[in-house]
Amino acid sequence: MLREGECRIPSGCAITGFINRDGRRTTGNPIIESIALMNERSNGLGGGFVAYGIYPEFKDSYALHLLFEDKSSRHQVEELLKDNFFIEAEDCIPTRLTRGIGKAPLLWRYFVLPRVAKSESLETSQDMITHLVMGINDTIPGAYVISSGRNMGAFKGVGYPEDIGEFYRLDEYQAHTWVAHGRFPTNTPGWWGGAHPFTLLDWSVVHNGEVSSYGANKHFLQMHGYKITLQTDTEVITYALDFLVRRQKLPLEAAAKVLAPPFWVHIDRMPAEERELYAQLRVVYGSLLLNGPFSIIVGFPGGIMALNDRLKLRPLVAGEKGATLYVASEEAAIRAICPNPERIWYPRGGEPVIGKLEENALCCQSA
């Protein structure tokens, strides 16, 4: 029997991602290669990817990726869509037979626009999509929304992530931002809807760790209208970001300081103006503080953010070369696809790493 210290304990789960800040798009092959290097961090019960910039021909539509367990659930969702949205296009999400991937649910995608007047705000459309997603996940048995953003999509399931990437034919997509997750579930079952990433609108989150503040976080979000149905802390992180940035209009950097704030002893030593800001964030949004070990990669339309807990109990490394920013659980996962980075660093606990598309980057993006 192996004793403690004689075997590797990887602390479960693998995360990796990169953004080409100049808007350059690449296939899914590099992200598959990066996540495959950390195969021992997964156990075959979940893998997933999210890609941004993959649907330029429908860039203004909401791309709904759904899984259905039967035809009845699909019929109910389509009736709901027809009543409230214009369906611009729909088809089965392309897949291929892949060794290691068992029987899959029905995977479908719809490109939709809400039936709202042109004079109404973007927030109205986003609220409609939010209500749709939570309504489907909460009230239609056998139906689950995988992703619901614009010009992006999530692809996930039960299996090792490299097999999930092959199954979804990610080598045929082009994206400026890719994020991946290899799952090692510890207290929830492996099922297709439970794999990472978790998404809402254009937000996506992959996560390594365990959030012990789940109950307090969940209660706060429920008070603000969010339906927490999937019983996972990653779902809560996704909704917390939507609440803080989209609804409360906080900068992403401030939202990161809500999720992983400085300790009070450090706040007390800050200059007066900075001290007041962080104290207000702690008081107003204290229920969204994430306790416990975690590292996450967050995807959003203009970029990615990587963040780990204040004590750095889960690994996180970042790298850069040219216009590309890489983040991952392990340095080797970055070097697998960027052998000679110009810079490698290990962010401090609670310090976000944010990469954003350059201004006008997508104007020159090839379709």
One of 13, 92, 338, 363 is an active-site residue; which one?
A: 13
Q: How many angstroms separate the CA atoms of 19 and 29, rounded?
A: 14
Joined tokens for residue 297: 């990669």
DSSP 160-217: -HHHHHHHTTGGG--BSEEEEEE---SSS---GGGSSPEEETTEEEEEEE--TTHHHH
Beta bridge partners of 143: 68
Q: How many angstroms separate the CA atoms of 147 and 290, rounded?
A: 23
DSSP 213-268: THHHHHHHHHHTT----S--HHHHHHHHHIIIIIIS---HHHHHHHHSPPPHHHHT
**Which residue is listed with tokens 């996180």?**
316
User: Is-catalytic flag, 13?
Assistant: yes
Q: How many angstroms separate the CA atoms of 207 and 183, rounded?
A: 9
Could you give the 3-state DSSP secondary structure of residue 66? strand
Beta bridge partners of 90: 110
Active site residues: 13
